């Protein structure tokens, strides 16, 4: 077992947002097997692209206000900093900011959804602590 410090800026960008950015920080490319953690930074008017995973997903709202849409049920849930979101396996969803500020969240599917990382290269180990 070892401890690693990972930086958002070194995580590969995932093509999951229109009007913002999603980066893989904890993912199989850095050795994670049981958890993924993505950093979502969505600009006003932006949103994540619809997604669904074979496993559940969990997110924490770090900053801002917004909503998460359950695209299967046709419902939306308001979000603000401090909220957690639990998404059941197979549920189609998307995040969007609401208001003048970015919506920033961290989280992802658990275990990782391998389809999200196809073709991504792992960062060099020396990048972790910088």
- 54-81 tens-digit pLDDT: 999 999 999 999 999 999 999 999 999 9
Class for the domain spanning 8-119: mainly beta
Torsion sign, CA atoms 22, 23, 29, 35: negative
pLDDT band at 124; cut points 50, 70, 90: low
Q: Which of 33, 31, 14 is nearest to 117 (CA)?
A: 14
Distance of CA 26 to the CA centre of its chain: 10
pTM of the model: 0.91
Give the other-Cβ count within 10 Å of 75's Cβ: 10
């Amino acid at each position: 077992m070892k401890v690693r410090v990972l930086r958002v800026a070194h995580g590969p960008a995932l093509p999951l947002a229109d009007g913002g950015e999603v980066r893989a920080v904890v993912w199989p490319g850095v050795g994670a097997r049981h958890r993924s953690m993505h950093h979502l930074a969505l600009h006003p008017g932006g949103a994540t692209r619809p997604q669904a995973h074979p496993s559940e997903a969990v997110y924490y709202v770090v900053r801002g206000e917004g909503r998460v849409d359950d695209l299967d049920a046709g419902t939306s849930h308001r979000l603000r900093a401090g909220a957690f979101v639990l998404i059941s396996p197979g549920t189609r969803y998307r995040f969007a900011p609401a208001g003048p500020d970015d919506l920033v969240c961290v989280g992802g599917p658990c275990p990782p959804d391998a389809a999200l990382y196809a073709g991504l290269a792992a960062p060099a180990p020396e990048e972790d602590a910088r």
